């Protein structure tokens, strides 16, 4: 049966996914409107400024956010609210320092060519102010996150996304009607609106919590001064944040490595086209993977952290009591459930349907005559569809590792990431420059990077499982790790049918090429509807493949699907499903 912690994690995941769907959906449609007014070069410059802002925010605040999720829920978390607020102001100071340094490194080599671009200077300052506003919102965010106030977070991020969309589109329309020279300024206006809205709504929500729980949103002396640096900052929290900080640097390099490599090997127009491709290709990761990972970290933290310290060190060194073993099994079960869901709904569709859908999507959304519609964009999106599954699996495995690893193990992980980062940048340069694969080569380098990180995470989880979940004496059942891996995979029938679908869609491509010379067949296969110009052959094959794939999943994975949605079902429906689920459990035993 589903535990209370897992149910709470599922609820939190739904809220976080809703946040991402609304905010990213609005951003997506807002960008679609902006593409009518701006060129690829403008988007390329906006990507650079956004990457600069993200670099400051990520490197300043990510380690503290992860460290706070290692704190147990309950009374200890309530008492640590003031410590979390105090630590968040270190994020503000660090972010401003990093912003000054990184801005200098960005502007100095650019020279007058960049500074003289229309609208660049005001856009740069607007991005800077928006970044400072997001940093100032961090003390409020950590309170929202620590108290699992997902509704308040949804309200803040949705409001900010709406503001950004309206502000950016309004600025672009105004500049167009006033016949002003179009520039990157609309993107900057939208980002400023986003930062301002986020700060205001977070501050309003956190102030209510601070008032009811009797702590301050400003730095305040802690009661336990013996365990605090300068009587303000919790030493255990700072120690854990420091352990994660090195990792956050390398994760930033891996996350922003695309922008760094592209800025060196490609011009602004190519960067803009790649940004468009990664916008479409990475939509799933922003809508789904990020909220799932954040919610999973909270679940793993509640299950595997002690109430006395934000670390699993005590848990790892303690005798393996039945209660601790049960918690470890629950965490492993939660992980295998997420991986199984990813395999069904991410991996299989991305390797079968998505490479065929993306070219149609580009032509439909942008129009066949758009300056953005090109063979390069379609190729990038098709390559990105193979990258998405690796991104998803690595994200959830990394969330588990960072939630259970000790400080020493985090240090070893940081060393590993140094090597992976260096290898990734080298392979990316090799593919893009020496092998002339262009931006597609960058996607292939990302796949290699994800594979290496997945291998490390699996190796770590195997060792962690052997240490914390002892095998039953006298029984020949597979280890907990092997059982978890088995539960993470769908049935053989599902995998076999998915492979046939992928082969069939590839064969359809060859048939289409063979019939391309027949003018009559080519004309009959086209469907014109307004600006849309669709291929009936493509649509019919994709529709048939999707029907077969969905039917296969429903027939072969019915038990797993029922167990997955069980926490969300009404009690009346649950009671009717219990006999069926118990029968399935007996069969497994």
Signed CA dihedral, 61, 66, 69, 71: sign only: negative
pLDDT of residue 365: 67
pLDDT of residue 202: 95
Q: How many CB atoms lie within 10 A of CB 238?
A: 19
In 3D space, the residue among 507, 502, 536, 409 whose CA is nearest the CA of residue 461 turns out to be 409
Alpha carbon of 557 to those of 10, 340, 433, 494, 554: distances in Å? 20, 10, 45, 8, 6
In the chain, where the domains are located: 1-215+228-249, 256-293+320-489, 493-588
Contact 432, 438 (CB under 8 A): yes
pLDDT of residue 308: 40
Helix axes 492-514, 536-556, angle to 10 degrees: 170
pLDDT of residue 73: 43
**Calpha distance 99→94 (Å, rounded):** 8
Contact 6, 142 (CB under 8 A): no
**Residue 317, both tokens:** 């060194």
Q: Is 532 helix (H, G, I), strand (E, B) or coil?
A: strand
- pLDDT tens profile 509-555: 666 655 555 555 455 455 555 555 566 667 777 888 889 889 988 88
- pLDDT tens profile 191-235: 999 999 999 999 999 999 988 888 888 888 877 666 667 767 778
Residues in a beta bridge with 228: 234
pLDDT of residue 306: 47
| Strand 233-234 versus strand 228-229 pairing type | antiparallel
**Calpha distance 218→516 (Å, rounded):** 68
Beta-carbon contacts of 389 under 8 Å, excluding residues fewer than 6 positions away, are: 342, 346, 347, 350, 351
pLDDT of residue 277: 73
Residue carrying structure tokens 């120690």:
239
Alpha carbon of 517 to those of 509, 513, 538: distances in Å? 14, 8, 17
Helix axes 290-304, 4-34, angle to 10 degrees: 160
Residue numbers in the chain where pLDDT is lower than 50: 1, 72-78, 306-315, 476, 521, 524
Contact 262, 437 (CB under 8 A): no
Contact 449, 420 (CB under 8 A): yes
**Calpha distance 187→165 (Å, rounded):** 9
Q: Is 70 helix (H, G, I), strand (E, B) or coil?
A: coil
Residues in a beta bridge with 533: 528
Q: Is 40 helix (H, G, I), strand (E, B) or coil?
A: helix
Residue carrying structure tokens 């965490």:
331
pLDDT of residue 417: 81
Q: How many CB atoms lie within 10 A of CB 492?
A: 9
Q: Is 371 helix (H, G, I), strand (E, B) or coil?
A: coil
At residue 533, φ and ψ (nearest 5 deg) are -135, 90
**Residue 506, both tokens:** 């590839």
Beta-carbon contacts of 76 under 8 Å, excluding residues fewer than 6 positions away, are: 307, 308
**Alpha carbon 229 to its chain's center:** 33
**Residue 22, both tokens:** 């609304």
Which of 82-106 are b and which e, b meaning 16 or more Cβ less than 10 Å from the residue's Cβ?
bbbbbbbbbbbebbbebbeebbeeb
Number of helices followed by number of strands (H, E) in the chain: 27, 4
At residue 36, φ and ψ (nearest 5 deg) are -75, -20
Contact 169, 30 (CB under 8 A): yes
In 3D space, the residue among 192, 37, 193 whose CA is nearest the CA of residue 124 turns out to be 192
pTM above 0.75, yes or no: no
**Residue 50, both tokens:** 């956004």
**Calpha distance 336→300 (Å, rounded):** 13
Q: How many CB atoms lie within 10 A of CB 579?
A: 9
**Residue 504, both tokens:** 């069939």
**Residue 67, both tokens:** 């460290």
Q: What angle do CA 73, 79, 84 make, to 5 degrees?
A: 85
pLDDT of residue 139: 92
**Residue 156, both tokens:** 């803040």
In 3D space, the residue among 482, 460, 469, 462 whose CA is nearest the CA of residue 330 turns out to be 469
Alpha carbon of 424 to those of 135, 435, 449, 477, 490: distances in Å? 30, 15, 6, 39, 31
The stretches of 405-470 forming alpha helices (DSSP H) are 407-429, 439-468
**Alpha carbon 121 to its chain's center:** 31
At residue 72, φ and ψ (nearest 5 deg) are -65, 155
**Calpha distance 138→431 (Å, rounded):** 39
Contact 577, 569 (CB under 8 A): yes
pLDDT of residue 137: 94
């Amino acid at each position: 049966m589903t535990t209370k912690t897992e149910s709470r994690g599922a609820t939190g995941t739904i809220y976080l996914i809703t946040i991402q769907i609304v905010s990213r959906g609005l951003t997506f449609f807002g960008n679609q409107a902006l593409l009518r007014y701006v060129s690829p070069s403008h988007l390329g410059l906006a990507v650079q400024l956004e990457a600069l802002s993200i670099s400051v925010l990520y490197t300043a605040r990510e380690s503290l956010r992860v460290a706070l999720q290692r704190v147990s829920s309950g009374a200890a978390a309530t008492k640590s609210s003031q410590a979390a607020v105090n630590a968040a102001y270190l994020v503000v100071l660090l972010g401003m320092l990093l912003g000054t340094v990184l801005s200098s490194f960005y502007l100095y080599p650019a020279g007058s060519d960049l500074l003289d671009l229309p609208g660049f200077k005001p856009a740069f300052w607007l991005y800077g102010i928006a970044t400072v506003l997001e940093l100032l919102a961090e003390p409020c965010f950590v309170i929202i996150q620590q108290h699992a106030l997902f509704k308040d977070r949804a309200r803040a991020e949705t409001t900010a996304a709406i503001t950004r969309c309206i502000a950016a589109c309004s600025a672009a329309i105004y500049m167009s009607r006033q016949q002003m020279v179009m520039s990157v300024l609309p993107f900057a206006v939208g980002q400023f609106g986003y930062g301002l809205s986020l700060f205001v709504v977070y501050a309003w929500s956190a102030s209510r919590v601070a008032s009811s729980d009797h702590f301050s949103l400003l730095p305040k002396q802690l009661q336990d001064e013996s365990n605090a640096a300068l009587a303000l900052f919790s030493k255990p929290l700072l120690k854990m944040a420091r352990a994660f900080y090195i990792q956050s640097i390398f994760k930033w390099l891996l996350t922003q490595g695309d922008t760094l490599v592209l800025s060196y090997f490609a011009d602004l127009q190519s960067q803009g086209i790649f940004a468009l491709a990664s916008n479409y290709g990475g939509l799933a990761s922003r809508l789904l993977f990020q909220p799932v990972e954040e919610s999973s970290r909270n679940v793993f933290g509640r299950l595997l952290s002690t109430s006395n310290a934000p670390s699993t060190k005590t848990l790892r060194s303690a005798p393996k009591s039945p209660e601790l073993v049960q918690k470890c099994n629950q965490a492993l079960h939660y992980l295998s459930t997420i991986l199984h869901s990813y395999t069904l709904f991410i991996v299989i569709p991305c390797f079968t349907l998505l490479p065929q859908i993306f070219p149609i999507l580009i032509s439909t959304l942008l129009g066949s005559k758009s300056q953005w519609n090109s063979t390069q964009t379609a190729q990038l999106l098709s390559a990105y569809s193979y990258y998405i599954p690796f991104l998803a699996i690595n994200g959830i495995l990394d969330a588990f590792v960072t939630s259970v690893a000790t400080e020493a193990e985090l240090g070893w992980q940081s060393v590993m990431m140094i090597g992976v980062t260096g290898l990734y940048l080298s392979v990316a340069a090799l593919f893009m420059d020496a092998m002339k694969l262009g931006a597609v080569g960058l996607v292939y380098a990302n796949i290699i990077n994800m594979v290496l990180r997945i291998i490390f995470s699996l190796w770590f989880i195997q060792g962690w499982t052997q240490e914390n979940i002892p095998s039953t004496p006298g029984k020949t059942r597979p280890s907990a790790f092997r059982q978890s891996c088995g539960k993470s995979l769908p049935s053989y029938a599902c995998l076999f049918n998915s492979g046939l679908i992928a082969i069939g869609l590839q064969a359809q491509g060859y048939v289409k090429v063979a019939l391309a010379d027949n003018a009559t067949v080519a004309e009959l296969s086209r469907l014109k509807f307004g600006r849309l110009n669709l291929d009936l052959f493509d649509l019919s094959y994709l529709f048939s493949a999707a029907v077969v794939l969905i039917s296969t999943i429903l027939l072969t994975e019915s038990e797993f699907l029922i167990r997955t949605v069980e926490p969300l079902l009404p009690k009346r429906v649950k009671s009717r499903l219990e006999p069926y689920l118990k029968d399935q459990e007996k069969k497994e035993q």
